[in-house]
Structure 1
Amino acid sequence: MKKLFLLAAIAVFGITGLNAQGQFNGGVNVGLITGDFSDFYSFNITVDASYLWEVSDQIQAGVATGFSQSFGKDTDFGDAEDAQFLPLAAAGRFNVSDEFTLGVDLGYAVGINDGNDGGFYYAPRVQYAVSESLDVVLAYRGVSIDAGPVTVGFNTITAGVEFGL
């Protein structure tokens, strides 16, 4: 399943290179772990990349990927290993005004580290345009992980910047 998602992402990004009508964006974010894993992980660094096409004056749609690194804490149960995810997602953005944009990324986050199978990925976001090519981004990023009889959430709240390239 992971290989299928990775192959699909490579195909989508390969096709986007043929069409120069879109906008490529890159971003860097830092965040805090919330929810089920907050006792085991201290903070998060995420690097994002997206390619968006203009659907209308207010709506963009496209694909998104990146790399997420969450750093483990020293706990009573021992040291938690760092957790890494590679999200592969569809992306949508809605321009509320010239400065504010609401968006969401939906897809699958591939688990990179040992014992991490990944899960459903969702990332609602709010962006504020500082300039034509620089946005400040606040996002809630979640990965729903199937943990046997229950599903747990690996969730982060991040803040960062996004550059239009």
Structure 2
Amino acid sequence: MKKIFLCAAIAVLGLTSVNAQGEPKVGVNAGLVVGDFSDGYSFNLALDVAYLWGLSDQIEAGATVGYSHSFGKDVEGFKVDDASFLPLAASGRFNVSEEFAFGVDLGYAVGIDEGNDGGFYYAPRIQYGVSDNLDIVAAYRGVSMDAGPVTLGFNTITLGVEFEL
């Protein structure tokens, strides 16, 4: 629990002390769990808060913090517990045109649940700008976790909206 508070405090301080010319953004996403854990989990909800500033007309960089919650299924009479992560990542966006952008978030997802240690976090994304302050975002979010001699991926495919504040 201490590492969750420490990571959250670092993220909040980092997001509030960056250059005032940046752009804060909030994203709300929903999706499906795919890959190694798809048999035990169904639906995923995610919330992201990012602070990006323009490095050029086409490139933005910054930091993001979020919360991701995946709902466990009933598997053969056994209820799988929900899984939650707190992603802390560096963010980058490449604006291809006025409407389209590609991006990636890279960092660490802190596992919030008991027995969930988290892992390396990556989230490639594509965005379509509906207006100056609203984007539709499709993303593949992955958490690469060590499980003894193998590495497992807790992966989701999400679709959502991102609001510029």
Bin of the TM-score, shorter chain as denominator length: over 0.9
* Equivalent residue number for residue 75 of structure 2: 75
Alpha-carbon distance between aligned partners in 1 of 2:31 and 2:71, rounded to the nearest angstrom: 11
Matches within 5 A, 1:1-165: 2=3, 5-16=7-18, 19-76=19-76, 78-165=78-165
In 2, the alpha carbon distance for the partners of 1:164 and 1:141 equals 21
- CA drift at 1:11: 3.1
Counterpart amino acid of residue 122 in structure 1:
Y
Letter in 2 for 1:152: L
- Runs of 4+ deviating beyond 3 Å: 1-8
* CA separation of 1:131 and 1:85: change in aligned 2, threshold 3 A: same
Q: For residues 90-131 of structure 1, what are the alpha-carbon distances to aligned partners after superposition, in whole Å with 9 as ceiling and x for unaligned? A: 000000000000000000000011110000000000000000
Q: Residue type matched to 2:163 in 1?
A: F
Specify the SS of the correspondent of 1:37. coil
Number of residue-to-residue matches in the alignment = 163
> Distance in 1 between the 2:23 and 2:34 partners?
31
Give unpaired runs (5+ residues) of structure 1. none
Query: RMSD across aligned C-alpha pairs, in angstroms?
Result: 1.4
Whole-angstrom CA distance in 1 between matches of 2:10 and 2:61: 17
TM-score with structure 2 setting the length: 0.94
CA distance in 2, matches of 1:106, 1:153: 15
Per the normalisation by structure 1, the TM-score is: 0.94
The percentage of counterpart residues that share the same residue type is 64
